[in-house]
Structure 1
Amino acid sequence: MNKTLTALSLAAAFISTGQTQAAEIDVTITNATKNIYFTPLLVAAHSSDIFLFRSGEAAGSEVEQMAEGGDIGPLSSLASNAGAVVVSNPASGPLNPGDSTTASMDTGDADSLSITAMLLPTNDGFVGLDSWPIPTTPGTYTVRLNGYDAGTEANDELATSMPNPPFVNLGTGGSGAETTVTNTSVHIHPGNLGDTDPTGGISDISSTAYRWLNPVAVVTVTVK
Protein backbone atom coordinates (compact mmCIF):
# COMPACT_ATOMS: atom_id res chain seq x y z
CA MET A 1 0.00 0.00 0.00
CA ASN A 2 1.30 3.45 -0.87
CA LYS A 3 1.54 5.32 2.41
CA THR A 4 2.72 8.56 0.89
CA LEU A 5 0.89 11.62 2.15
CA THR A 6 -2.81 11.82 1.27
CA ALA A 7 -5.36 14.35 2.40
CA LEU A 8 -7.35 11.69 4.23
CA SER A 9 -4.41 10.14 6.06
CA LEU A 10 -3.03 13.55 6.93
CA ALA A 11 -6.31 14.72 8.42
CA ALA A 12 -6.71 11.53 10.42
CA ALA A 13 -3.18 11.75 11.71
CA PHE A 14 -3.56 15.31 12.93
CA ILE A 15 -6.80 14.47 14.73
CA SER A 16 -5.43 11.32 16.36
CA THR A 17 -2.09 12.56 17.57
CA GLY A 18 -2.02 13.21 21.27
CA GLN A 19 1.33 14.97 21.53
CA THR A 20 1.53 18.75 21.72
CA GLN A 21 4.74 20.76 21.80
CA ALA A 22 4.45 24.27 20.45
CA ALA A 23 7.90 25.52 19.52
CA GLU A 24 9.47 28.25 17.44
CA ILE A 25 12.23 26.97 15.20
CA ASP A 26 14.58 28.33 12.54
CA VAL A 27 15.46 25.85 9.80
CA THR A 28 18.57 26.79 7.82
CA ILE A 29 19.24 24.71 4.71
CA THR A 30 22.63 24.83 3.01
CA ASN A 31 23.24 23.43 -0.47
CA ALA A 32 26.43 21.43 0.17
CA THR A 33 27.10 20.43 -3.45
CA LYS A 34 29.67 21.78 -5.89
CA ASN A 35 27.35 22.42 -8.83
CA ILE A 36 23.88 20.94 -8.17
CA TYR A 37 20.90 23.27 -7.73
CA PHE A 38 17.85 22.82 -5.51
CA THR A 39 14.50 23.85 -6.95
CA PRO A 40 12.23 25.83 -4.58
CA LEU A 41 12.20 24.08 -1.22
CA LEU A 42 9.24 22.81 0.78
CA VAL A 43 9.67 22.80 4.57
CA ALA A 44 6.85 21.23 6.60
CA ALA A 45 6.32 20.65 10.32
CA HIS A 46 3.72 17.93 10.91
CA SER A 47 2.60 15.00 13.03
CA SER A 48 4.92 12.01 13.34
CA ASP A 49 2.06 9.83 12.08
CA ILE A 50 2.45 11.14 8.53
CA PHE A 51 5.23 11.72 6.03
CA LEU A 52 5.89 13.41 2.70
CA PHE A 53 7.85 10.46 1.35
CA ARG A 54 9.34 7.25 2.64
CA SER A 55 12.35 5.33 1.41
CA GLY A 56 11.34 1.89 0.14
CA GLU A 57 7.78 2.89 -0.74
CA ALA A 58 6.30 4.18 -3.97
CA ALA A 59 6.14 7.95 -4.39
CA GLY A 60 2.73 9.59 -4.62
CA SER A 61 1.82 11.83 -7.54
CA GLU A 62 2.63 14.95 -5.50
CA VAL A 63 6.17 13.71 -4.82
CA GLU A 64 6.49 12.71 -8.47
CA GLN A 65 5.66 16.24 -9.61
CA MET A 66 8.19 17.70 -7.18
CA ALA A 67 10.96 15.24 -8.09
CA GLU A 68 10.53 15.36 -11.88
CA GLY A 69 9.69 19.02 -12.40
CA GLY A 70 10.37 20.91 -9.19
CA ASP A 71 6.66 21.66 -8.64
CA ILE A 72 6.08 21.76 -4.87
CA GLY A 73 2.59 23.26 -5.20
CA PRO A 74 0.56 20.02 -4.97
CA LEU A 75 2.65 18.67 -2.09
CA SER A 76 2.48 21.98 -0.24
CA SER A 77 -1.29 22.21 -0.67
CA LEU A 78 -1.78 18.63 0.50
CA ALA A 79 0.18 19.25 3.69
CA SER A 80 -1.31 22.69 4.38
CA ASN A 81 -4.90 21.52 3.89
CA ALA A 82 -4.35 18.80 6.49
CA GLY A 83 -2.98 21.21 9.09
CA ALA A 84 0.77 21.04 8.59
CA VAL A 85 2.84 24.17 9.16
CA VAL A 86 4.38 24.81 5.75
CA VAL A 87 7.00 27.21 4.43
CA SER A 88 7.24 27.10 0.64
CA ASN A 89 10.18 28.48 -1.31
CA PRO A 90 12.10 30.20 1.53
CA ALA A 91 14.95 31.06 -0.87
CA SER A 92 12.54 32.81 -3.28
CA GLY A 93 13.75 30.60 -6.11
CA PRO A 94 16.38 27.91 -6.63
CA LEU A 95 19.01 27.41 -3.93
CA ASN A 96 22.42 27.72 -5.59
CA PRO A 97 25.40 25.53 -4.71
CA GLY A 98 26.99 26.74 -1.48
CA ASP A 99 24.09 29.04 -0.60
CA SER A 100 21.80 28.87 2.44
CA THR A 101 18.23 29.85 3.22
CA THR A 102 16.25 29.95 6.47
CA ALA A 103 12.62 29.13 7.21
CA SER A 104 11.24 30.37 10.55
CA MET A 105 8.29 28.39 11.88
CA ASP A 106 5.92 28.17 14.81
CA THR A 107 5.38 24.41 14.86
CA GLY A 108 2.21 24.40 16.92
CA ASP A 109 1.29 20.77 17.70
CA ALA A 110 3.66 19.37 15.08
CA ASP A 111 6.53 17.20 16.27
CA SER A 112 8.26 16.22 13.00
CA LEU A 113 10.06 18.07 10.23
CA SER A 114 10.27 17.20 6.53
CA ILE A 115 12.07 18.93 3.65
CA THR A 116 11.98 18.33 -0.11
CA ALA A 117 13.25 19.92 -3.32
CA MET A 118 14.26 18.61 -6.74
CA LEU A 119 17.95 18.30 -7.59
CA LEU A 120 19.04 19.87 -10.88
CA PRO A 121 20.15 18.40 -13.17
CA THR A 122 18.54 15.00 -12.53
CA ASN A 123 15.57 13.10 -13.93
CA ASP A 124 13.73 12.54 -10.65
CA GLY A 125 16.24 13.22 -7.91
CA PHE A 126 15.41 15.22 -4.80
CA VAL A 127 16.96 16.30 -1.54
CA GLY A 128 14.93 14.99 1.36
CA LEU A 129 14.40 14.94 5.10
CA ASP A 130 11.76 12.43 6.19
CA SER A 131 9.83 13.09 9.41
CA TRP A 132 12.79 14.14 11.56
CA PRO A 133 11.71 14.41 15.24
CA ILE A 134 11.80 18.05 16.34
CA PRO A 135 13.71 18.24 19.65
CA THR A 136 11.84 19.56 22.66
CA THR A 137 14.98 20.96 24.28
CA PRO A 138 16.08 24.41 23.07
CA GLY A 139 19.35 24.37 21.19
CA THR A 140 20.95 24.01 17.77
CA TYR A 141 20.85 20.71 15.91
CA THR A 142 22.53 19.68 12.65
CA VAL A 143 21.26 17.12 10.11
CA ARG A 144 22.87 16.09 6.82
CA LEU A 145 20.50 15.25 3.99
CA ASN A 146 20.84 12.70 1.21
CA GLY A 147 19.65 12.90 -2.36
CA TYR A 148 16.83 10.47 -3.19
CA ASP A 149 15.55 8.98 -6.43
CA ALA A 150 11.75 9.07 -6.65
CA GLY A 151 11.70 5.88 -8.73
CA THR A 152 9.20 7.43 -11.13
CA GLU A 153 11.38 8.03 -14.19
CA ALA A 154 14.36 6.35 -15.82
CA ASN A 155 17.64 8.17 -15.23
CA ASP A 156 18.35 8.59 -18.93
CA GLU A 157 20.13 11.92 -18.26
CA LEU A 158 18.82 13.41 -21.49
CA ALA A 159 18.08 17.12 -21.92
CA THR A 160 14.63 16.27 -23.32
CA SER A 161 13.71 14.47 -20.08
CA MET A 162 14.83 17.03 -17.50
CA PRO A 163 14.09 20.66 -16.65
CA ASN A 164 16.61 22.80 -18.50
CA PRO A 165 16.85 26.23 -16.85
CA PRO A 166 19.41 28.69 -18.20
CA PHE A 167 21.77 28.22 -15.27
CA VAL A 168 22.23 24.50 -16.05
CA ASN A 169 24.38 23.69 -19.10
CA LEU A 170 23.24 20.43 -20.64
CA GLY A 171 24.66 18.78 -23.74
CA THR A 172 22.82 17.17 -26.66
CA GLY A 173 22.79 13.95 -28.61
CA GLY A 174 23.06 11.48 -25.73
CA SER A 175 21.76 7.97 -26.28
CA GLY A 176 20.49 7.55 -22.72
CA ALA A 177 22.33 6.45 -19.59
CA GLU A 178 19.36 4.32 -18.49
CA THR A 179 16.30 3.17 -20.43
CA THR A 180 14.06 1.64 -17.75
CA VAL A 181 13.24 2.24 -14.10
CA THR A 182 14.95 -0.48 -12.10
CA ASN A 183 13.56 0.48 -8.68
CA THR A 184 10.06 1.95 -8.53
CA SER A 185 10.28 2.86 -4.84
CA VAL A 186 11.91 5.95 -3.34
CA HIS A 187 15.57 5.09 -2.80
CA ILE A 188 18.99 6.66 -2.37
CA HIS A 189 19.98 8.29 -5.64
CA PRO A 190 23.04 6.75 -7.33
CA GLY A 191 24.21 10.17 -8.52
CA ASN A 192 24.61 11.38 -12.08
CA LEU A 193 26.73 9.21 -14.36
CA GLY A 194 27.34 11.79 -17.07
CA ASP A 195 30.08 11.77 -19.71
CA THR A 196 32.54 14.19 -21.31
CA ASP A 197 30.96 14.35 -24.77
CA PRO A 198 28.77 17.51 -25.06
CA THR A 199 27.22 16.43 -28.39
CA GLY A 200 26.90 12.66 -27.96
CA GLY A 201 27.80 9.81 -25.64
CA ILE A 202 25.26 8.23 -23.32
CA SER A 203 24.36 11.34 -21.30
CA ASP A 204 23.64 15.03 -21.80
CA ILE A 205 25.03 15.72 -18.32
CA SER A 206 28.69 16.69 -18.00
CA SER A 207 30.46 14.31 -15.65
CA THR A 208 33.06 16.97 -14.84
CA ALA A 209 30.43 19.52 -13.81
CA TYR A 210 27.43 17.66 -12.38
CA ARG A 211 28.63 14.51 -10.66
CA TRP A 212 27.67 14.42 -6.98
CA LEU A 213 27.76 12.23 -3.88
CA ASN A 214 25.73 12.19 -0.68
CA PRO A 215 25.13 14.09 1.50
CA VAL A 216 23.90 17.01 -0.58
CA ALA A 217 22.63 19.39 2.11
CA VAL A 218 23.26 20.45 5.69
CA VAL A 219 20.30 21.54 7.81
CA THR A 220 20.67 23.47 11.03
CA VAL A 221 17.59 23.56 13.25
CA THR A 222 17.49 26.10 16.07
CA VAL A 223 14.82 25.34 18.67
CA LYS A 224 14.03 28.47 20.67
Structure 2
Amino acid sequence: MLKLSQIGLLVSTSAVAMSASFVNAAELEITVTNSTKGIYFTPLIVAAHNSDLFMFRTGETASSELESMAEGGDISGLSSVIGNAGGVVVENPADGILDPGMSTTFYLDSGTMGYLSLSAMLLPTNDGFVGLDSWAIPSEAGTYSAALYGYDAGTEANDELAGSMPNPPFITFGSGGTGVESTVTNDKVHIHPGNIGDSDSSGGISDLDNASHRWLNPVATITIVVK
Protein backbone atom coordinates (compact mmCIF):
# COMPACT_ATOMS: atom_id res chain seq x y z
CA MET A 1 0.00 0.00 0.00
CA LEU A 2 1.02 3.62 -0.34
CA LYS A 3 3.36 5.11 2.19
CA LEU A 4 1.91 8.20 3.84
CA SER A 5 4.74 10.73 4.01
CA GLN A 6 4.67 14.04 5.85
CA ILE A 7 3.15 15.72 2.81
CA GLY A 8 -0.24 14.47 3.86
CA LEU A 9 -1.37 12.65 0.75
CA LEU A 10 -5.05 11.81 0.64
CA VAL A 11 -4.68 8.21 -0.35
CA SER A 12 -7.12 5.95 -2.13
CA THR A 13 -5.13 2.80 -2.69
CA SER A 14 -6.21 -0.25 -4.65
CA ALA A 15 -3.50 -2.88 -4.63
CA VAL A 16 -3.95 -5.87 -6.89
CA ALA A 17 -1.64 -8.54 -5.54
CA MET A 18 0.33 -10.66 -7.96
CA SER A 19 2.11 -13.89 -7.18
CA ALA A 20 5.55 -12.35 -7.58
CA SER A 21 7.09 -10.11 -4.92
CA PHE A 22 10.40 -8.36 -5.31
CA VAL A 23 12.60 -5.81 -3.61
CA ASN A 24 12.31 -3.08 -6.21
CA ALA A 25 9.79 -2.62 -8.99
CA ALA A 26 11.47 -2.24 -12.35
CA GLU A 27 8.63 -1.02 -14.56
CA LEU A 28 6.03 1.58 -13.57
CA GLU A 29 3.10 2.81 -15.64
CA ILE A 30 2.24 6.27 -14.30
CA THR A 31 -0.80 8.42 -15.01
CA VAL A 32 -0.98 12.00 -13.72
CA THR A 33 -4.26 13.92 -13.99
CA ASN A 34 -4.68 17.65 -13.50
CA SER A 35 -7.84 17.75 -11.38
CA THR A 36 -8.20 21.54 -11.15
CA LYS A 37 -10.74 23.79 -12.88
CA GLY A 38 -8.39 26.45 -14.22
CA ILE A 39 -4.79 25.78 -13.13
CA TYR A 40 -2.16 24.54 -15.57
CA PHE A 41 0.89 22.37 -14.86
CA THR A 42 4.21 23.27 -16.46
CA PRO A 43 6.29 20.35 -17.80
CA LEU A 44 6.49 17.62 -15.19
CA ILE A 45 9.64 16.10 -13.79
CA VAL A 46 9.27 12.59 -12.40
CA ALA A 47 12.15 10.67 -10.87
CA ALA A 48 12.96 7.37 -9.21
CA HIS A 49 15.76 7.72 -6.68
CA ASN A 50 17.23 6.30 -3.50
CA SER A 51 16.58 7.44 0.07
CA ASP A 52 19.46 9.93 0.02
CA LEU A 53 17.79 12.08 -2.66
CA PHE A 54 14.66 14.20 -2.69
CA MET A 55 13.10 16.99 -4.74
CA PHE A 56 11.69 18.85 -1.76
CA ARG A 57 10.93 18.53 1.92
CA THR A 58 8.10 20.32 3.70
CA GLY A 59 9.36 22.48 6.55
CA GLU A 60 12.75 22.97 4.88
CA THR A 61 14.15 25.76 2.72
CA ALA A 62 13.72 25.20 -1.00
CA SER A 63 16.84 24.45 -3.02
CA SER A 64 17.76 26.83 -5.83
CA GLU A 65 16.73 24.10 -8.29
CA LEU A 66 13.30 23.78 -6.68
CA GLU A 67 12.95 27.57 -6.67
CA SER A 68 13.60 27.68 -10.42
CA MET A 69 10.93 25.07 -11.02
CA ALA A 70 8.36 26.62 -8.66
CA GLU A 71 8.76 30.20 -9.90
CA GLY A 72 9.36 29.61 -13.60
CA GLY A 73 8.71 25.98 -14.49
CA ASP A 74 12.41 25.28 -15.16
CA ILE A 75 13.02 21.59 -14.39
CA SER A 76 16.57 21.42 -15.76
CA GLY A 77 18.25 21.97 -12.40
CA LEU A 78 16.28 19.29 -10.58
CA SER A 79 16.86 16.93 -13.48
CA SER A 80 20.60 17.49 -13.38
CA VAL A 81 20.90 17.07 -9.62
CA ILE A 82 18.90 13.84 -9.54
CA GLY A 83 20.34 12.42 -12.76
CA ASN A 84 23.93 13.14 -11.72
CA ALA A 85 23.30 11.36 -8.42
CA GLY A 86 22.18 8.21 -10.21
CA GLY A 87 18.42 8.72 -10.22
CA VAL A 88 16.15 7.84 -13.12
CA VAL A 89 14.47 10.95 -14.55
CA VAL A 90 11.52 11.39 -16.90
CA GLU A 91 11.16 14.95 -18.18
CA ASN A 92 8.06 16.50 -19.71
CA PRO A 93 5.99 13.32 -20.24
CA ALA A 94 2.93 15.40 -21.27
CA ASP A 95 4.93 17.09 -24.06
CA GLY A 96 4.30 20.54 -22.63
CA ILE A 97 1.60 22.06 -20.46
CA LEU A 98 -0.87 19.72 -18.75
CA ASP A 99 -4.22 21.48 -19.02
CA PRO A 100 -6.99 21.36 -16.40
CA GLY A 101 -8.83 18.04 -16.53
CA MET A 102 -6.22 16.40 -18.75
CA SER A 103 -4.04 13.36 -18.07
CA THR A 104 -0.72 12.02 -19.23
CA THR A 105 0.41 8.38 -19.06
CA PHE A 106 4.03 7.28 -19.33
CA TYR A 107 6.47 4.59 -18.27
CA LEU A 108 9.45 4.67 -15.93
CA ASP A 109 11.96 1.91 -15.31
CA SER A 110 12.91 2.45 -11.68
CA GLY A 111 15.68 -0.14 -11.69
CA THR A 112 17.07 -0.45 -8.17
CA MET A 113 15.68 2.91 -7.04
CA GLY A 114 13.16 2.64 -4.20
CA TYR A 115 11.43 6.04 -4.17
CA LEU A 116 9.37 8.13 -6.58
CA SER A 117 9.06 11.94 -6.66
CA LEU A 118 7.28 14.41 -8.94
CA SER A 119 6.86 18.15 -9.36
CA ALA A 120 5.63 20.84 -11.76
CA MET A 121 4.83 24.52 -11.36
CA LEU A 122 1.19 25.53 -10.97
CA LEU A 123 0.11 28.32 -13.33
CA PRO A 124 -0.90 30.94 -12.43
CA THR A 125 0.85 31.10 -9.05
CA ASN A 126 3.90 32.90 -7.73
CA ASP A 127 5.80 29.83 -6.52
CA GLY A 128 3.26 27.04 -6.27
CA PHE A 129 3.88 23.50 -7.47
CA VAL A 130 2.24 20.11 -7.49
CA GLY A 131 4.41 17.57 -5.74
CA LEU A 132 5.00 13.99 -4.66
CA ASP A 133 7.76 13.59 -2.09
CA SER A 134 9.74 10.35 -1.93
CA TRP A 135 6.88 7.86 -2.24
CA ALA A 136 8.17 4.37 -1.44
CA ILE A 137 7.73 2.18 -4.52
CA PRO A 138 5.88 -0.95 -3.37
CA SER A 139 7.54 -4.35 -3.60
CA GLU A 140 4.18 -5.88 -4.53
CA ALA A 141 2.82 -5.60 -8.02
CA GLY A 142 -0.52 -3.84 -8.31
CA THR A 143 -2.29 -0.54 -8.94
CA TYR A 144 -1.82 2.33 -6.50
CA SER A 145 -3.43 5.77 -6.55
CA ALA A 146 -3.31 8.98 -4.54
CA ALA A 147 -4.32 12.62 -4.57
CA LEU A 148 -1.47 15.11 -4.89
CA TYR A 149 -1.25 18.45 -3.10
CA GLY A 150 -0.09 21.85 -4.26
CA TYR A 151 2.87 23.26 -2.34
CA ASP A 152 4.35 26.71 -1.83
CA ALA A 153 8.13 26.88 -2.26
CA GLY A 154 8.34 29.77 0.21
CA THR A 155 10.65 31.68 -2.12
CA GLU A 156 8.34 34.46 -3.34
CA ALA A 157 5.49 36.49 -1.85
CA ASN A 158 2.09 35.38 -3.09
CA ASP A 159 1.16 38.79 -4.44
CA GLU A 160 -0.86 37.29 -7.33
CA LEU A 161 0.27 40.07 -9.66
CA ALA A 162 0.81 39.50 -13.37
CA GLY A 163 4.27 41.05 -13.25
CA SER A 164 5.44 38.45 -10.72
CA MET A 165 4.39 35.34 -12.63
CA PRO A 166 5.02 33.77 -16.04
CA ASN A 167 2.53 35.15 -18.57
CA PRO A 168 1.71 32.38 -21.06
CA PRO A 169 -0.76 33.28 -23.83
CA PHE A 170 -3.35 30.76 -22.64
CA ILE A 171 -3.91 32.62 -19.34
CA THR A 172 -5.80 35.91 -19.20
CA PHE A 173 -4.59 38.10 -16.36
CA GLY A 174 -6.23 41.15 -14.90
CA SER A 175 -4.29 44.30 -14.14
CA GLY A 176 -4.02 47.00 -11.52
CA GLY A 177 -4.02 44.71 -8.50
CA THR A 178 -2.45 46.02 -5.30
CA GLY A 179 -1.10 42.63 -4.26
CA VAL A 180 -2.43 39.97 -1.92
CA GLU A 181 0.88 39.71 -0.05
CA SER A 182 3.89 41.99 -0.09
CA THR A 183 6.36 39.80 1.80
CA VAL A 184 7.05 36.09 2.20
CA THR A 185 5.14 34.92 5.28
CA ASN A 186 6.61 31.40 5.39
CA ASP A 187 10.02 30.86 3.81
CA LYS A 188 9.94 27.06 4.06
CA VAL A 189 8.25 24.63 1.69
CA HIS A 190 4.67 24.21 2.88
CA ILE A 191 1.16 23.33 1.78
CA HIS A 192 -0.09 26.08 -0.53
CA PRO A 193 -3.19 27.96 0.71
CA GLY A 194 -4.45 28.38 -2.86
CA ASN A 195 -5.01 31.52 -4.88
CA ILE A 196 -7.40 34.16 -3.59
CA GLY A 197 -8.06 36.19 -6.73
CA ASP A 198 -10.86 38.72 -7.11
CA SER A 199 -13.61 39.70 -9.55
CA ASP A 200 -12.08 43.05 -10.57
CA SER A 201 -10.16 42.68 -13.85
CA SER A 202 -8.67 46.18 -13.64
CA GLY A 203 -8.04 46.61 -9.93
CA GLY A 204 -8.62 44.92 -6.60
CA ILE A 205 -5.98 43.02 -4.69
CA SER A 206 -5.15 40.37 -7.30
CA ASP A 207 -4.61 40.07 -11.05
CA LEU A 208 -6.15 36.58 -10.93
CA ASP A 209 -9.79 35.77 -11.58
CA ASN A 210 -11.43 34.16 -8.57
CA ALA A 211 -13.93 32.40 -10.85
CA SER A 212 -11.26 30.40 -12.66
CA HIS A 213 -7.90 30.75 -10.88
CA ARG A 214 -8.99 30.07 -7.31
CA TRP A 215 -8.16 26.55 -6.16
CA LEU A 216 -7.99 24.35 -3.11
CA ASN A 217 -6.07 21.15 -2.46
CA PRO A 218 -5.69 18.49 -3.78
CA VAL A 219 -4.77 19.52 -7.33
CA ALA A 220 -3.97 16.23 -9.06
CA THR A 221 -4.30 12.49 -8.95
CA ILE A 222 -1.63 9.92 -9.68
CA THR A 223 -2.10 6.27 -10.51
CA ILE A 224 0.91 3.98 -10.52
CA VAL A 225 0.79 0.47 -11.92
CA VAL A 226 3.66 -1.59 -10.57
CA LYS A 227 4.36 -4.29 -13.12
Q: TM-score, normalised by structure 2?
A: 0.89
Which residues of 2 match residues 1-224 of structure 1 at below 5 A? Answer: 21-224=24-227
Cα separation, 1, equivalents of 2:137 and 2:172:
38
Higher helix share: 1
Aligned 8 A contact 2:25 2:226 in 1: no
Cα separation, 1, equivalents of 2:109 and 2:75:
21
Question: Partner of 1:78: helix, strand, or coil?
Answer: helix
Cα separation, 2, equivalents of 1:22 and 1:100:
23
Aligned 8 A contact 1:20 1:110 in 2: no
Q: CA deviation at 1:110?
A: 0.5
Cα separation, 1, equivalents of 2:50 and 2:23:
10
Q: Which residue of 2 aligns with 1:4?
A: none
Cα separation, 2, equivalents of 1:46 and 1:143:
19
Give the AA of the match of 2:190: H
Give the AA of the match of 2:111: G
Aligned 8 A contact 2:199 2:209 in 1: yes
Q: CA deviation at 1:20?
A: 5.7
Cα separation, 2, equivalents of 1:117 and 1:103:
16
Aligned 8 A contact 2:142 2:225 in 1: yes
Give the AA of the match of 1:192: N
Q: CA deviation at 1:22?
A: 4.6
Give the AA of the match of 2:61: A
> Residue deviations 1:108-128, cap 9 Å, x none?
110100000000000000000
Question: Partner of 2:148: helix, strand, or coil?
Answer: strand
Structure 1: any 5+ residue segments left out of the alignment? 1-18
Structure 2: any 5+ residue segments left out of the alignment? 1-21
> Residue deviations 1:80-138, cap 9 Å, x none?
11111100000000100011112201101101000000000000000000000011111
Q: TM-score, normalised by structure 1?
A: 0.90
Q: CA deviation at 1:21?
A: 1.9
Aligned 8 A contact 1:43 1:103 in 2: no
Cα separation, 2, equivalents of 1:100 and 1:207:
24
Question: Partner of 2:86: helix, strand, or coil?
Answer: coil
Give the AA of the match of 2:186: N
Cα separation, 1, equivalents of 2:165 and 2:89:
27
Cα separation, 1, equivalents of 2:46 and 2:217:
20
Identity %: 66
Aligned 8 A contact 1:40 1:93 in 2: yes
Cα separation, 1, equivalents of 2:111 and 2:171:
39
Q: Which residue of 2 aligns with 1:7?
A: none
Aligned 8 A contact 1:21 1:110 in 2: yes
Aligned 8 A contact 2:25 2:138 in 1: no
